[in-house]
Structure 1
C-alpha cells in the first residue's frame, strides 16, 4: 500500500513537471522610476512645500518671540540681582520661573518638530496617493509585472532588464 502511494506521488510530480514545462513561457516586464524626482516635478508638491515652509516659519517666529521675551527677562533678572534689588528668596523664585519658561520653550521646539512632520504628512498624502494610482494604472495598461522605485538607495542591486516608466507616469499625471 505504501509503495503504491509513493509511486502515485512520483507520477503526479512527473506529470506536474511535464505540464509546467509545456506551458508557454511569458517574459515578465519590469519597470523602474525615481519617485523622489517625480515628486519634485509635480506642481502639487511644490505648492505643498511652500505651504509647509510658511507654516514652519510661523511656528518658528512664535518660538523666537518666546526666546526673545525670555532673554529680556533674564537680562532684567541679572540687572536686578547685580544691583542688589532682589532678596535671595525672590532671586530663587525668579530663577525657578525663568527655568520653567526655558523648559516651556524647549517643549515648544519639540512640538514644532511634531507639528511640521504631521503637516508634511497631511499635505503629501493626497499627492502620494495620486502618484501611486498613476503608477498602478501605467503598470496595468502596459503589462508591467513590477515597477521598482530607483530612488531608494541599494534597493535594487541588479535587475536583468527593466523599462524607465517615469515618462509614462508623468504623462498620466499631466507633467512634462
Structure 2
C-alpha cells in the first residue's frame, strides 16, 4: 500500500507537467495565402500591371534602338549641329527610359504593398487567433525558412488558420 501511495506521489508531478506542457504549432502561410481568392485576384492585378510596364519599357527600348540605328546610318552625312542635336535627343531618351524604369519599379512595389498587406494582416490575425484559442506558445511559419519542424512535437495548424480566416471575412 505504501508503495502504491509513493508511486502515485511520484507520478503526480509528471501528470501535472504533461497537462501544462507548452504547445507548439507550425503553419504554411504561403499555402494559406495562395488559396485565398483575394490573393489570387491581387496577384493577377499585379501581374497585369507588371506586364503593362514591361510593354511600355519595350516600346521605349524599340524607339531608342530605332533612333540609334537611324543615327548610325546617317551620322556621316550630318553636319555638326544636327549630330549634336541627335546625340542629345538619344541621351534624353535614355534618361527618360531609366527614369521610367525606376518609376515603374517604385509603383509596382507600392501596388504590391497596398494589395498584399491587408491579406497578410488577415492571415497574421488568423494565426494569432488560433494561437490564443489553442493555447500555443509559438506558431512557426514554414515559409520563414525554418529548416526543420518536428511533426510530433509541433502541430500543423494550417487548416485551423484557414478555417479562422473564413470567420474573419
Distance (whole Å) between structure 2 residues aligned to residue 157 and residue 47 of structure 1? 31
- 1:131-166 deviation digits (Å, cap 9, x = unpaired): 011111111112112101111223657697110000
Note if 1:74 corresponds to 2:53: no
Runs of 4+ residues deviating >3 angstroms: 154-160
More helix by share: 2
Deviation (angstroms), 1:80: 2.4
Indicate the residue corresponding to 2:159 in structure 1.
Answer: 167
CA contact (8 A) 1:30 1:147 kept: yes
What are structure 2's unaligned runs of at least 5 residues? Answer: 1-12
Indicate the residue corresponding to 1:134 in structure 2.
Answer: 126
Aligned length: 151
- 1:71-102 deviation digits (Å, cap 9, x = unpaired): 222232223224x1x10232123112202211
Deviation (angstroms), 1:108: 1.5
Match of 2:91 among 95, 99, 117: 99
Indicate the residue corresponding to 1:51 in structure 2.
Answer: 45
SS of 1:146's equivalent in the other structure is strand
SS of 1:30's equivalent in the other structure is strand
Indicate the residue corresponding to 1:116 in structure 2.
Answer: 108
Distance (whole Å) between structure 1 residues aligned to residue 70 and residue 159 of structure 2? 63
Larger Rg: 1
SS of 1:154's equivalent in the other structure is coil
CA contact (8 A) 1:32 1:147 kept: yes
Q: Give TM-score scaled by structure 1 length.
A: 0.76
Distance (whole Å) between structure 1 residues aligned to residue 149 and residue 139 of structure 2? 15
Distance (whole Å) between structure 2 residues aligned to residue 94 and residue 38 of structure 1? 55
Q: Give TM-score scaled by structure 2 length.
A: 0.79
Match of 1:42 among 36, 46, 49: 36
Note if 1:31 corresponds to 2:25: yes
